[in-house]
């Protein structure tokens, strides 16, 4: 066969293979977009575990009518424009691929209204050439994205979808993860027309503690040791606990993005082993943590994986030692506190 450039729809479907594994991965991308748009309320409605319908509505900045079609195009983003931007990412998105990928494997409709625009507009992509159709509609300031019939046109992928219950539990987990990092954003999750999760916002200064307690349970909060330290450009906050009487919770955020990282786990275990062996069981599978690390975005590469759940630290050793030190200090303080006679 001669070399040819693939049609847009096929190229998008190939790209979708990397980011759209299941309904939960679509929800992750859509919520991240809402957060990048500065929304402080995000409503998520799903039907049949998200396989039939996913609707994410936000009150963020919206998309102008003339940019609606572009938002669905591949490699189209408002978040970076040059290599320098790529090396210092502060937004959750930057690849300009999510909407193009999602719309290539579902029936996607995007409705949006920026504050400055009097009317709302709707766009959907149709047919093999993915030609976008634009129509006027009604919508308050913000954006709603509706995704119907995931994988309707890619039966091989559809077969990998699990039961409604399993798909829902993945979605639930995605929402929890993001809600933990954005305590000032309201999240409402509805499944088959019923509210199943509502993460509210109170005006109290301990909103983050409230959010963590709601999501991780009061046992975790009661048992947890607080971590809070800053050195140069590095800042760490969070909670660590062992044996919380349920599955361990392990959440690590780098500049507001949840990531998987071995380095952190290693640093925490090492600190525990050296400071307070008695708190750690021999298997140490019981370590639970919610840790927020902030650092200069130039110091971390987030462009490692299409789903963006891995990062690379430029100075991995430095970050490791910083986390270790912060943890050792927190454990020592905790030891002292528990040894002090209560008045």
Cβ closest to ligand ADP, residue 102 vs residue 236: 102
- Burial letters for 269-305: b for 16+ Cβ neighbours within 10 Å, e otherwise? ebbbeebbeebbeeeeebbbbbbbbebebebbebeee
Q: Is 98 among the residues that bind ligand ADP (CB under 6 A)?
A: yes
Cβ closest to Mg ion, residue 62 vs residue 238: 62
By CB under 5 A, the residues from 10 to 49 that bind Mg ion are: 33
Residues that bind Mg ion (rule: CB under 5 A) add up to a total of 3
| Stretch of residues binding ligand ADP (CB under 6 A), selected from 61-69, 160-168, 216-224, 236-244 | 61-69
Residues that bind ligand ADP (rule: CB under 6 A) add up to a total of 23
Contact residue for Mg ion among 98, 171, 208, 249 (CB under 5 A): 98
Q: How far apart are CA 105 and CA 77, in angstroms?
A: 20
Residue 311 pairs with which residues in a beta bridge?
none
- Which entry of ligand ADP, Mg ion, none binds 257, CB below 5 to 8 A by partner kind? none
Say if residue 317 is exposed, middle or buried (CB neighbours under 10 Å; 0-12, 13-18, 19+): exposed
Q: Is 130 among the residues that bind ligand ADP (CB under 6 A)?
A: no
Cβ closest to ligand ADP, residue 76 vs residue 235: 76
> What is the closest distance, in whole angstroms, from the C-beta atom of residue 205 to ligand ADP in the complex?
29
Contact residue for ligand ADP among 23, 49, 50, 62 (CB under 6 A): 62
> What is the closest distance, in whole angstroms, from the C-beta atom of residue 13 to ligand ADP in the complex?
15
Binding letters toward ligand ADP, positions 19-48, x by CB under 6 A: ----------x---xx--x-----------
Within its chain, how far is the Cα of 320 from the centroid?
23
Q: Is 267 among the residues that bind ligand ADP (CB under 6 A)?
A: no
**Three-state SS across the chain?**
CCCCCCCHHHHHHHHHHHHCCCHHHHHHHHHHHHHHCCCCEEEEEEEHHHCCEEEEEECCCCCCHHHHHHHCCCCCCCCCCCHHHHCCCCCCCCCCCHHHHHHHCCEEEEEEECCCCCCEEEEEEECCCCEEEEEEECCCCEEEEEEECCCCCCHHHHCCCCCHHHHHHHHHHHHHHHHHHCCCCEEEEEECCEEEEEECCCCCCCHHHHHHHHHHCHHHHHHCEEEEEEECCEEEEEEEEECCCCCCCEEEEECCEECCCHHHHHHHHHHHHHHCHHHCCCCCCCEEEEEEEECCHHHEECCCCCCCCCCEECCHHHHHHHHHHHHHHHHHHHHHHHHCCCC
> What is the closest distance, in whole angstroms, from the C-beta atom of residue 246 to ligand ADP in the complex?
33
- Which entry of ligand ADP, Mg ion, none binds 146, CB below 5 to 8 A by partner kind? none
Cβ closest to ligand ADP, residue 150 vs residue 326: 150
- Which entry of Mg ion, ligand ADP, none binds 307, CB below 5 to 8 A by partner kind? none
Cβ closest to ligand ADP, residue 23 vs residue 62: 62
| Stretch of residues binding ligand ADP (CB under 6 A), selected from 3-11, 97-105, 117-125, 182-190 | 97-105
| Stretch of residues binding Mg ion (CB under 5 A), selected from 59-67, 89-97, 251-259, 290-298 | 89-97
Q: Token pair of 320, please?
A: 């490791």
Contact residue for ligand ADP among 79, 107, 210, 309 (CB under 6 A): 79
Cβ closest to ligand ADP, residue 111 vs residue 208: 111
Q: What does the binding site for ligand ADP look like in residue numbers (CB under 6 A)?
A: 29, 33-34, 37, 58, 60-63, 71, 76-79, 93-100, 143
């Amino acid at each position: 066969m001669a070399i040819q450039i693939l049609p847009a729809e096929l190229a998008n479907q190939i790209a979708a293979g990397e980011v759209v594994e299941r309904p939960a991965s679509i929800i992750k991308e859509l919520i991240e977009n809402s957060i990048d748009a500065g929304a402080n309320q995000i409503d998520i409605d799903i039907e049949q575990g998200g396989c039939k319908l996913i609707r994410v509505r936000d009150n963020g900045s919206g998309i102008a009518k003339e940019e609606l079609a572009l938002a669905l195009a591949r490699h189209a983003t408002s978040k970076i424009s040059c290599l320098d931007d790529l090396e210092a990412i502060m937004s959750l998105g930057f690849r300009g691929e999510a909407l193009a990928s999602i719309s290539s494997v579902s029936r996607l409709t995007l409705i949006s209204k920026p504050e400055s625009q009097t009317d709302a507009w709707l766009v959907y992509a149709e047919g093999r050439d993915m030609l976008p159709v634009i129509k006027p509609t009604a919508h308050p300031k913000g954006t709603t994205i509706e995704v119907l019939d995931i994988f309707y046109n890619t039966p091989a992928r559809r077969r990998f979808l699990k039961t409604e219950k399993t798909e829902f539990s993945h979605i639930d987990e995605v929402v929890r993860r993001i809600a933990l990092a954005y305590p000032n954003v309201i999240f409402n999750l509805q499944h088959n027309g019923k509210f199943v999760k509502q993460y509210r916002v109170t005006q109290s200064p301990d909103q983050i503690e409230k959010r963590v307690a709601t999501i991780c349970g009061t046992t975790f909060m009661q048992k947890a040791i607080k971590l809070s330290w800053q050195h140069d450009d590095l800042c760490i906050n969070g909670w660590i606990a062992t044996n919380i009487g349920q599955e361990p919770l392990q959440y690590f955020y780098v500049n507001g993005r949840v990531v998987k990282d071995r380095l952190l786990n290693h640093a925490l275990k090492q600190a525990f082993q050296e400071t307070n062996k008695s708190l750690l069981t021999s298997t140490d599978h019981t370590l639970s943590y919610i840790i927020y690390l902030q650092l200069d975005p130039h110091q971390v590469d987030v462009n490692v994986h299409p789903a963006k759940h891995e990062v690379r630290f430029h100075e991995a050793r430095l970050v490791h030692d910083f986390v270790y030190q912060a943890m050792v200090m927190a454990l020592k303080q905790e030891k002292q506190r528990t040894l002090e006679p209560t008045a």
